[in-house]
A and B are shown apart, each in its own frame.
Chain A
Amino acid sequence: MENRIWFLYAKKLTGEATDVETRELNELLSSKPELYDELAALETVWVTPSEISTPTDSDFSQLAAKIQSQGYDFEWPVQEAEEPVATAAAPVRWLRRPATWIAATAAAAAIIAAVWFSNSPAGHVLEEPAMAKANQVSTRPGSRSKVVLPDGTQVWLNADSKLTYGNDFGVSSRDVTLSGEAYFDVKPNKEVPFYIHTSKIKIKVTGTVFNVRAYPNETRSETSLLHGKVEVTLNSSPDKTYFLKPSDKLVVTDDGGINQTNAATVANAMQKQNRVAPAVQIPVMKQLVVKPDETFPVETAWVNNTLAFADESFREVADKMERWYGIEIVFAHQQLEKMRFTGRFENETVAQALEAMQLASPFKYTINGNSVVIFKTTK
């Protein structure tokens, strides 16, 4: 019996005991109380970390040199540079998305979906900077990229987004302009705060990790904070500051009554009334939710190569899919836009994603090149 106890206890230590086995172990132990101390001591030994050396930066530099010597693309400073300027030239790497969708059954998706075709790098050309003195990084629909700013701040840029910063970035100020969605890991520097300007809001950061979603053609603008703290001011009412704590999400929505065509006249009217705001912005504070079986909230899923949505309308999901896959989605029947979906996609193709969604709610679709049409099922 004692051997059985050791057998079960070993499983418990490695976290691989089933519920049945745990119950059996507890029952056996109740008749062997003299083993308690021993097992407790054993558990202490088990959880004590073993003395294993940690590799140094120079170990990694050696590996980097080996990779380079074998002709693989790996940008790593040869000497250990002290000044952050050394990373200024850190290259932008383009993520290549599939150019062609692979037809496969949904069942097979999980295993073989990830056959990716690379576009030629020429397919992703940096736009000419608008100002001569500014640096601009942009992504097309269907592609994402990561950039390291001169101060060491890391920025992941989602599809169809644009990040601009001046040549003097990092000297006396750290100001960037964002159009689209980005995930920031800002290098802490109390002396030089980091500012992000978008069409609707301004964010002040000292050193933190967060996600900003501010696509110009969307009425919503979202700031999601993971670590640290940020301050958000609305461009329409710069006097008021919103302080975000970790797991806070600030959502700013433009007033739906103002659309593109009459925005100019409304702005004129407002200026006459000595009002600054071209549109009414309504900020709402929400909380990021991480489900128990997931490691990241839906807001930052894209950084982990996952397209995710939580109880969002088909229209919102379609907007995300358009950018994610670099496609265009048209609804033949407008009422379909209101259907709501929750889901996560990793390596699925457009067709596989749509097929999975069909299981949740009935609709039909056709794919023709890069355009998708969604229509009602005919009864």
Chain B
Amino acid sequence: MYEHLHLSELQHKIAAFEDQQAYKELFLRLQPKLVQFAKTICLQKEAAEEVVSDVFVRVWQKRKTLDHIQNLKLYLYIATRNVSLNYLRVDRKHQTLQMDDLQVEIAAFNASPAQLMMTAELQQQIAWAVEELPTQCKIIFKLVKEDGLKQKEVAELLHLQPKTVENQLAIAVRKIGVALRQFAPARTKTVKKPA
């Protein structure tokens, strides 16, 4: 039943009942994405996993006051960012993300081409378009698309202006759109107008 619960409901259950099942569900739901994010900073998978498990230990340690956190998801991403930076032994005073140091990998799209009415060639085209994006643009795209963060949340997480995030995401979307363009005519009759 927990897989259907909203994140805030899991948060309540952990805070009010020290509910280990809810805590496990939180872990199952967010750990892979947080590891991906940590890896963009730490660069190594093992280090990223270590960082994220530290973050989750801290969540359990603070379980009774978990209800005070307004946005648990963003909190976990920020904690992951901070622990990752600590891991790199970056001087606390200058603890900011250097975009150029990030290594962003975009996960493959999951559905089979047949399901999407998309050829393998087209998928490849999209993957290239994403790969070609500047780092800042790419991490913003990743956090919004894969992690489901809001643009404002991404701005807070990456210490960027909300306007910057909006513009960068628009660039990412445009480049992917252009990559799709050359394939569009063949698909004209099968695709519905967007609502």
Contact = CB atoms under 8 A, between A and B. Distances in A.
A11 B18 CA distance: 37
B32 A53 contact: yes
B145 to A, nearest CB: 7
B32 A42 contact: no
Contact of A14 (B28, B60, B107, B169): B169
Interface in B156-195: 166-167, 169-174, 176-177, 180-181, 183-185, 187-188, 191-194
Given A14-B144, A44-B116, A49-B110, A185 B1 contact: yes
A194 to B, nearest CB: 15
A242 interface: no
Interface string A67-96: 100101011100000000000000001011
Contacts of B116: 44-45, 48
A209 B109 contact: no
Contacts of B28: 54-55, 60
Nearest to A118: B64
Contact of B17 (A40, A46, A114, A156): A156
Contact of B146 (A9, A50, A96, A144): A50
Contacts of A295: 6, 8-9
Given A42-B180, A52-B36, A55-B32, 5 more contacts: A10-B173, A36-B194, A38-B181, A45-B176, A49-B109
Interface of A: 2-3, 6-7, 9-11, 13-14, 16, 35-46, 48-55, 59-60, 62-63, 66-67, 70, 72, 74-76, 93, 95-96, 114, 116, 118, 144-146, 154, 156, 185, 209, 227, 295-296, 303-306, 346-347
A113 to B, nearest CB: 10
A11 B145 CA distance: 12
A304 B185 CA distance: 51
Contacts of A42: 173, 176-177, 180
B31 interface: yes
Contacts of A156: 17
A-B pairs, top 4 by smallest CB distance, nearest first, are A50-B107, A6-B174, A7-B170, A305-B16
Interface stretch (B19-27, B71-79, B82-90, B95-103): B19-27
A40 B191 CA distance: 7
Nearest to B193: A36
A42 B60 CA distance: 39
